[in-house]
Amino acid sequence: MLVTFTCNAYQNITMFYDVAKRLFKMIGYNEAESGVIRSEDTLEVLLRLKKAIEVDKDQPILENCQSDDSKEQTVNIAHRAYPLIEMLEAAAKEKCDVMWETT
């Protein structure tokens, strides 16, 4: 399952549901099939997400990802959250909502 985030101030972002679910938990939102972060809440949500990432930044989100040389790698939550952070920054600046939908 995928989650797509949309915002008038930024390009669409699509991520796997398990990653989005973890981010929703970090920002204090439940993982509903669709939802919205209202424009007046974007800055607060952005700050909450950045703070939560600082705490969890070394925890892997995707384990056993094989690279070209077959060595195991991990991708941490900070890397996965980066596009959403940029979207929230743009939304806060432009004062627009961030919406998501599960597909």
The Cα 97–Cα 88 span in angstroms is: 9
Tokens linked to 69: 């040389």
Q: pTM, whole model, 2 decimals?
A: 0.82
Radius of gyration of the chain measured on its C-alpha atoms: 14
User: Which amino acid appears at position 5 of this protein?
Assistant: F
Q: Kindly list the distances between the CA atom of residue 59 and the CA atoms of 4, 5, 38, 53, 89, in Å, as whole numbers in the listed order.
A: 23, 23, 29, 9, 24
- Write down the domain spans for the chain: 2-102
Q: Which amino acid is at 10?
A: Y
Tokens 């919406």 label which residue? 99
pLDDT at residue 56, as a whole number = 74
Question: What is the tens place of the pLDDT at every residue in 54-91?
Answer: 887 666 555 444 445 445 557 788 899 999 999 999 99
